[in-house]
Amino acid sequence: MNSQREAMPDRLRAIALLGIVVVNAPLLGIVGSAGLSPQSLAGPLNTAAAFLMIAFAQGKFYLLFSFLFGYSASFILKDNTRANRFRFSRRLLVLAVIGLAHAVFFFIGDILISYALLGFGLLALSRRSDRALKIWIVVTVTISILVITATVSLVALLPEPTTGLAYLDSALATGSFLEVAGARLESLPSVVIYVLLTQGGMAFAAFLLGLLASRQRFLADPQSRATQWRRMMIIGLSIGLPLQLVAAWLQVWSISAGSIYSEAGMAGLILGFATAPLLATGYVGLLGWILCRRPTFLQALTPAGRASLTVYIGESVLLSLLFCGYGLGFYGEWGSFPVMLAAVGSWGLLVLCARLWLNRFPRGPLEEVVARLTRRV
Note whether residue 4 is domain-resident.
no
pLDDT band at 4 (very low <50, low <70, confident <90, very high): low
Note whether residue 136 is domain-resident.
yes
Rounded to whole angstroms, how far apart are CA atoms 315 and 125? 32
Note whether residue 74 is domain-resident.
yes
The pTM of this model reads: 0.91
pLDDT, tens digit, for every residue of 271-280?
999 999 999 9
Note whether residue 1 is domain-resident.
no
Note whether residue 49 is domain-resident.
yes
DSSP symbol at 301: G
Note whether residue 3 is domain-resident.
no
Note whether residue 7 is domain-resident.
no
Number of domains in the chain: 1
Range of the domain at 104: 12-373
320: left (phi over 0), alpha (psi -120 to 50) or beta: alpha
pLDDT, tens digit, for every residue of 52-79?
999 999 999 999 999 999 999 988 887 7
Lowest mean pLDDT: which of 33-37, 166-170, 272-276, 308-312? 33-37
Looking at residue 159, what is its pLDDT? 57
Q: Cα torsion at 29, 310, 307, 286 (round to 10°)?
A: -20
pLDDT band at 214 (very low <50, low <70, confident <90, very high): very high
Nearby residues of 69 by Cβ (< 8 Å), 6 or more positions away: 115, 119, 206, 207, 210
pLDDT band at 82 (very low <50, low <70, confident <90, very high): confident
Note whether residue 22 is domain-resident.
yes
